[in-house]
Structure 1
Amino acid sequence: MLNEKHDLIHEFPEHKALIHTLKMENSHFARLFDEYHDVDHEVRRIETGAETTADEYLETRKKQRLLLKDQLFEMIQKELTA
C-alpha cells in the first residue's frame, strides 16, 4: 500500500527488543537489516513520487524487500526457538 510503513519494527513490533539484539550481535542479521532498510526506503521514495522508475523496477524492488523480510523473520524465529 502507498505510504505504508514496512520497516521491521512496524512489521514485527512484538520482536523489537530481539531485532535490536540481533542487529548488535549478529553481523549477518545486521547486514540483511541494513539492506532491507535501504530497499524499503527506496520503495517508499518511488511510491511517494520522490523518484520515478519503471513499474517493473518497482515490482522487482518490492520482491527484494519481501525476500529480505522473510530471511530476517526466519532468523528471528530461529532465535526464538533456540
Structure 2
Amino acid sequence: MSNTPHNLSEEFPGQLDKIHALKVSNPSFAQLLIDYDEVNDEIHVAETNVQPTSHDHETELRRRRLAIKDRIAAALSN
C-alpha cells in the first residue's frame, strides 16, 4: 500500500494540456475527472488511516479508480 496520491499529472505525464482541453470541451470527461479525484481522495484517506476502512472496501475503491483511469486513458487516446 502506498499513501501517495495518484495525481493525474503523474498518471498521464505530458498530457495535462490535452486533459485540460477535454475537460473544458467535454462535460462527460470533466465528470470523469471529478469522479477520479473523489475516489482517489477516499483511497488516500483510507491508506493514511485518517478514516480506517475494511480491506474489501479499499479494494473496491481501487477497482473504481482503475476503471475511471481506463476511461480517461481511452478518451485521451482518441
Higher helix proportion (structure 1 or 2):
1
Count of paired positions: 78
1:43 alignment counterpart: 43
CA RMSD of aligned residues (A): 0.9
Q: TM-score, normalised by structure 1?
A: 0.90
Asked whether 1:5 is paired with 2:5, we answer yes
Structure 2 unaligned regions, length at least 5: none
Cα distance between partner residues in 2 of 1:17 and 1:5: 20
- Report matched runs for 1:3-82 at 5 Å: 3-78=3-78
Cα offset, 1:71, TM superposition? 0.4
The one-letter code matched in structure 2 to 1:46 is A
Give the ranges of 4+ consecutive aligned residues of structure 1 lying more than 3 Å apart after TM superposition. Answer: none
Q: TM-score, normalised by structure 2?
A: 0.94
Structure 1 unaligned regions, length at least 5: none
Cα distance between partner residues in 1 of 2:6 and 2:53: 20
